[in-house]
Amino acid sequence: MNDAEQSGEANFVRRVLIIVAISAGVLLLWEVRDVIVLLFGAVMIATIFRAIADLLEKHLRLPERVAVLVSVLLIVGIIVGVAWSIGSQVGTQSQDLANTLPRAAAIIDDRLAAMGLGHPVAMWMRNLHSGGLIGADLKDFVSSVTIGVASFLIMFFGGIFLAAQPRLYGIGLIKLIPPARRRLVAEAMEESDHALRLWLKGQLWAMLLIFLMTWIGLWLLGVPSSLVLALISGVLEFIPYAGAITSAVPAIMVALVQSPELAMWVVGLYVLVHHVEAYLIQPVIQQFAVEIPAVITLFALLAFGLLFGVLGILLAAPLAVVSYVLVKRLYVIEALDTPTPIPGENKD
């Protein structure tokens, strides 16, 4: 075998090994996809801590570690303070809501039966009792709740560690990149972090305003458990599109127990609130936040939900923000050499 043949055989073997290595890497990433999304959740929480810590460093001249500690204590203190102040009211209303929803389901089932559609709700409830949530699958439900709590704790404490030493983990990640591309990747990471901070700031404002508008509206209409229902609306605002629809369902069911007219008023309230959000709140927020095209957000919700399950749905919007920035920076601008604006640039 001459040198040319040996060289060709060596190149072939090298290519095969590269393909095998890439395939193995993709398979490994797929197997640990749940860990990856948990890591992203920790990064998102760390971003919140770092945003507050940066303000404390800037205005109060606190050391970096102290600022991070204060930011964590501040957030935990706010959560505990809110829970302490309205916890008993939320607990009472939650119990009332749990008692009201079955009655609402029965009313809906009777109305469907009167329309000649059978008893689909009653059948669904029987399935729950015989082998669903209240039966053989109760252990699965408890296990899911336990896993959810554990996942949140992992993300929370992971976020604390990342916020405490962001440069350490950032430099460690950059070292995995070939030297010629490290500067580019570092810039892309900074732009992604900036866009994520702006998105989170805008989203938190939107969640707060949705909660307040819904609470006031339900209270004025005299809907029971208005505080809990408003909290559900505010929290689910974090999930694009699906959150708004899902949050309206229990409120409409509760109102239906009182009267069909009240249920229609509640439908009108939710439509009004989310129109105000879409045409008034969001345009104002986008002045200091970032905006992702609606179709990208929608299909990101579907894609990340299929890939990562419930956690993927919860984190679909921030994942879409980071992915959108990275694709623009690393592919459109760098690979295709096509100028395009980066979400969040020139915004504070």
3-class state of residue 289 by DSSP: coil
* pLDDT of the chain, 348 residues: tens digit per residue: 555 556 666 677 777 787 888 888 788 878 888 888 999 999 999 999 999 999 898 888 888 889 999 999 999 998 888 878 777 777 787 787 877 777 777 777 677 666 666 656 566 655 555 544 444 454 555 566 777 788 889 999 999 999 988 888 888 888 888 888 889 889 989 999 999 999 998 889 899 999 999 999 999 999 888 889 999 999 988 888 888 888 888 898 888 888 888 889 999 999 999 888 888 888 777 777 777 888 888 888 889 988 888 888 889 999 999 999 999 998 888 888 888 888 777 666
pLDDT score, position 134: 44
Length of the chain: 348
Whole-number Å distance between alpha carbons of 237 and 211: 9
Show the tokens assigned to 2: 């001459």
In a domain, 126, yes or no: no
Q: Which residue has the tokens 């992971």?
A: 158
Report whether 250 contacts 105 (CB < 8 A).
Answer: no
Whole-number Å distance between alpha carbons of 104 and 102: 5
In a domain, 342, yes or no: yes
- Inter-residue long-range contacts of 229-233, CB under 8 Å, 24+ positions, other chains counted: 229/97, 229/254, 231/90, 233/270, 233/273
pLDDT score, position 132: 47
In a domain, 163, yes or no: no
In a domain, 212, yes or no: yes
Q: How does DSSP classify residue 342?
A: P
DSSP notation for 212-257: HHHHHHHHHHT-TTHHHHHHHHHHHTTSTTHHHHHHHHHHHHHHHH
pLDDT score, position 283: 78
pLDDT score, position 70: 93
For residue 251, give the nearest of 234, 91, 92 by alpha carbon: 234
In a domain, 271, yes or no: yes
In a domain, 245, yes or no: yes
As for how many domains the chain has, the answer is 1
CA distances for 271 relative to 210, 225, 259, 266, angstroms: 12, 19, 19, 9
Give the orientation angle of helix 294-308 with respect to helix 33-60, to 10 degrees.
130
Quote the Cα angle for 179-185-186, to 5°.
95
pLDDT score, position 271: 92
Whole-number Å distance between alpha carbons of 326 and 344: 13
In a domain, 241, yes or no: yes
The residue range of the domain holding 344 is: 196-348
Whole-number Å distance between alpha carbons of 57 and 284: 28
In a domain, 265, yes or no: yes
Strand residues in the chain grouped as ranges (E)? none
